[in-house]
Amino acid sequence: MNKNAMEINGQRLWDSLEASGQIGKLRGTGLRRLPLSDANKEMRDTFCAWAEAAGCTVTVDQVGNIFARRPGRDDALPAIATGSHLDTQMCGGKYDGVLGVMSGLEVIRTLNDLGVETKRPIELVVWSNEEGARFTPPMQGSLAFAGDLSLETVLASQDADGLRFADELRRIGYDGTRELGESEFEAYLELHIEQGPVLDRIGIDTGIVVAGFKSHGLKIQVTGNTAHVGPTPMDERQNALVGAAHLITAVDAIGWKHHPQGGKSTTPHISCFPNLPGIIPESAQLTVDFRHPEPEIADQMLAEVKAAMAEAAEKANVKMEIIDSWSFGDNPFSDDCIKALADTADAMGINYMEIRSQAGHDAYAIGKIAPMGMIFTPCTAGVSHNVEESIELDRTLPGVNLLLNTMVDLANR
């Protein structure tokens, strides 16, 4: 690395990740830290203590997003921000989201160690509920901050047990008073593990994200009718689960059709009612997700899924309708941020590649209100949303050092 570039303390970063890995530990190497759970509270408390020990002012907004601020010389200027999430999937790994937060903390700690002042303030944000593993939609905190979800919608959302976001947020003590979107960011950079195999397979340690995948999500209601599983003739059944099954395989086939160009499709969730032996199900709900690097093809896949719904409904003699839908990935990345990252990487002698993001991230929401860029670091074999998720410190450090040096460059502009 170029001798003028600053370097973070790798061991301290690793220790922070390992300490986080003890909170909500699952199956030895994984984490289950659902948003607004006791484990999430413990991690939030730990983070706030670390940020305060690093001299930051910590504030919490109305949906529980946490902001740790390191003042700038001209503190009235908009901050250079970074951040990610500390909530995890149901069977999550130790690095998804956590690496981005701990890297941001390490940026601040390193600037303290080196006695570096910046012209602009630096803000490190922990976004509430990125994964959507308990309350939906995913990226709730960053979407609300960016004005894409209303405060009321977030606070009223419920988990599978009917517990309300607002009540759970108050229970863990993170119902903050800071107004949503109160601060303006000059730029927002997020570091994240790639969650795919590209960097690991190619053997390059740093990815500068230049575009996303267009992604569509649908919640589909299948409605049939209950009946006895014995006497009801086959041709008189309206089995909602059979309709759902036809659709699941059709959605999978659509993914395979577009696989050569990088398309993919998934039905990750199904619920069924009454879901009991002896009775034909009257209702099924599916969540369907499909993605493609070309936005027009992703839209074409949406049309194909709708056609498959009509076919599956007819085959199973049931009704199907889309009851909720969302999409993201309309290129939210800023050319200025991409250039700042690439210029800094070149100056530091960091070998990087341009890469696409295939997952959703908080950065997408922030990209709508501020210039935004992302750095990817490798995870072993691309395994993520799995307790086996793992990283190598040596292959992670170039990306974290790129975050540090780019943030300082931007904060002194």
Buried-exposed string 122-134: b where 16+ CB fall within 10 A, e elsewhere? bbbbbbbbbbbbb
User: Are 312 and 243 in contact, with CB atoms under 8 Å apart?
Assistant: yes
The CB density around residue 156, as the number of other CB atoms within 10 Å, is 12
Torsion angles phi and psi, residue 100, rounded to 5: -65, -40
The residues, ordered by sequence, that sit 6+ positions from 299 with a Cβ below 8 Å of its Cβ are 214, 216
Cβ-closest position to Zn ion: 97
User: In what helix (H) or strand (E) does residue 188 lie, and over which residues does it extend?
Assistant: strand 185-193
Residue listed under structure tokens 């409904």: 313
**Closest distance to Zn ion from the beta carbon of 345 (Å):** 22
Strands 283-292 vs 57-60: parallel, antiparallel or unpaired? unpaired
Which backbone phi and psi does 344 adopt, to 5 degrees?
-65, -45
Nearer to Zn ion, 32 or 258 (CB): 32
**89-97, 109-117, 138-146, 246-254 -> range binding Zn ion (CB under 5 A):** 89-97
Q: State which residue, 358 or 406, has the beta carbon closest to Zn ion.
A: 358
Structure tokens at 8: 């973070």
Q: How far apart are CA 396 and CA 207, in angstroms?
A: 11
Provide, rounded to whole angstroms, the least separation between the CB of residue 192 and Zn ion: 6
Q: Which is nearer to Zn ion, 26 or 111 (CB)?
A: 26
Query: CA torsion sign, 145 to 64 to 182 to 102?
Result: negative
Taking CB under 5 A as the binding criterion, the range among 65-73, 95-103, 297-305, 343-351 that sits at the site for Zn ion is: 95-103
Neighbours of 86 (CB within 10 A): 27
Q: Minimum distance between the CB of residue 43 and Zn ion, rounded to whole angstroms?
A: 14
**Does 196 help bind Zn ion (rule: CB under 5 A)?**
no
The token pair at 310 is: 């009509």
Q: Quickly count: other Cβ atoms within 10 Å of residue 272's Cβ.
A: 16
Within 66-136, strands assigned E span 66-70, 79-85, 122-127
List, edge to edge, every strand of the sheet that includes 319-328. Answer: 264-273, 283-292, 214-223, 319-328
Min CB(96)–Zn ion separation in Å: 4
Query: Closer CB to Zn ion, residue 32 or residue 120?
Result: 32
Nearer to Zn ion, 131 or 205 (CB): 131
CB of 382 to Zn ion, least distance (A): 14
Question: Which CB sits closer to Zn ion, 96 or 282?
Answer: 96
Closer CB to Zn ion, 96 or 389, in the complex: 96
Query: Among 96-104, 178-186, 272-280, 288-296, which window interacts with Zn ion (CB under 5 A)?
Result: 96-104
Query: CB of 169: closest distance to Zn ion in angstroms?
Result: 20
Residue 159 Cβ vs Zn ion, minimum distance, rounded to whole Å: 19
Number of residues that bind Zn ion (CB under 5 A): 2
Integer Cα distance of 106 and 357 in angstroms: 24
Residues 97-136 that bind Zn ion (CB under 5 A): 97
What is the C-alpha end-to-end distance of the chain, expressed in Å?
23
Q: How far is the CB of 381 from Zn ion (least distance, A)?
A: 17
Q: How far is the CB of 141 from Zn ion (least distance, A)?
A: 12
Closest to Zn ion by CB, 97 vs 373, is 97
Nearer to Zn ion, 97 or 207 (CB): 97
Among 20, 47, 88, 96, binds Zn ion (CB under 5 A): 96
- Residues within the interface to Zn ion (CB under 5 A): 96-97
